[in-house]
Amino acid sequence: MKSLFWILLTCVCLNTSFAKDAAPLADDPVVEQRLISISEEMRCLVCQNESLAGSRSDLANDLRREIRILIQEGKSDDQIRTFMVERYGDFVLYRPPVKPITWLLWIGPFVILVIGIAVLLRYLRRRNQNMPSTTLSEADNRKIDALLNQEKRDGLND
């Protein structure tokens, strides 16, 4: 546990120390572009809230070197992703793959949305039904007429 703490601490320190040189780029900018696009989608396992592209931890350096080699060997992006997942698990991917264990993760929010809408509709429908529909008695009607007539007269007098 302690080693992890120190590794983490060095990650944090290295991030703020600008004295360190940038990691050497591969000669081929195309390779480098692909490396960045792949590694931006991957988690650095030592500094877990950093991407592999952005992390300066030792392990991230090694893994970028490894990905560079794989690119130069002509491996596809998918093959490289598989290489990483075989070693570090789905956890390295920022976008978890859709499979039975992650169904809840992907579909969960929509399920909750559907439940929410259903509850809302039920509530609104019930509220409409519960609205008291009062019927006016003969006496009420007469009173209303009287008031309306009075208002009309008042209006004319003005």
Site for another protein, rule CB under 8 A: 1-4, 6-7, 45-46, 48, 58-59, 62-63, 66, 85-91
Nearer to another protein, 32 or 66 (CB): 66
Nearer to another protein, 87 or 125 (CB): 87
Which residues is 42 bridged to in the sheet? 93
Cβ 55 to another protein, closest distance in Å?
11
Nearer to another protein, 24 or 29 (CB): 24
Cβ 25 to another protein, closest distance in Å?
19
Cβ 89 to another protein, closest distance in Å?
4
100 CB-contact burial (10 Å; exposed 0-12 / middle 13-18 / buried 19+) = exposed
Cβ 10 to another protein, closest distance in Å?
11
Judged by DSSP in three states, 130 sits in helix
* Cβ 47 vs Cβ 57: under 8 Å: yes
Q: How far is CA 127 from CA 18, 41, 119, 121, 136, in A?
A: 63, 48, 12, 10, 22
